[in-house]
Amino acid sequence: MTHPLIPQVIDLATPVAEALGLEVVGAVFHTNQRPPVLRVDIRNSETDTGLDDCERMSRALEAALDAADFVPDAYVLEISSPGISRQLTTDREFISFKGFPVIVTTSEPYEGQQEWTGQLIRRDEEGVYLNQKGRAIAIPRQMVSRVHLDEKR
């Protein structure tokens, strides 16, 4: 479940990131840690996301969060890159990772299975398309719950 402050954090962080030429790709508030950790994942769309990007975003976002003052208690701000081992969600990611090995998980079994692996062909309004050893597979998009890169292949 998403922490109730996450939408506010993303709304605040997005223009900060854009001003730095970065993109916010997610945020999580780990309240089970002491002090709690607010992690914001960023990506540099021009090049690989580096430590310099994380440092610039950390300084800028820390100032914005302090000014907004909607996080009630002490916390640790962590800026990171989601790396390549992540879930694909945006149209741009599906285009960028065309041909990469992926794992598609469905919400319920489709043709007898809930997990499909193969090379990503594309995603459209109808489905997610994979190449499995030269055979094209179409998985209905409404059944797809997750698509992530397959690091084992």
Confidence band, pLDDT 50/70/90 cuts, at residue 153: low
Domain containing 19 equals 6-80
Indicate the SS3 state at residue 97.
Answer: coil
Question: 76 with 97, same domain?
Answer: no
Residue 10: what pLDDT?
95
The predicted-structure confidence for 6-15, as pLDDT tens digits, reads as follows: 999 999 999 9
Domain edge (last residue) among 80, 106, 127: 80
Would 39 be classed as within a structural domain? yes
Would 113 be classed as within a structural domain? yes
The predicted-structure confidence for 93-141, as pLDDT tens digits, reads as follows: 898 889 999 999 999 999 999 999 999 999 999 999 999 999 999 999 9
- Is the pLDDT at 1 greater than 70? The verdict is no
Strands 101-110 and 127-132, by their bridges, are unpaired
Would 104 be classed as within a structural domain? yes
Residue 121: what pLDDT?
96
Q: Are 126 and 138 in contact (CB under 8 A)?
A: yes
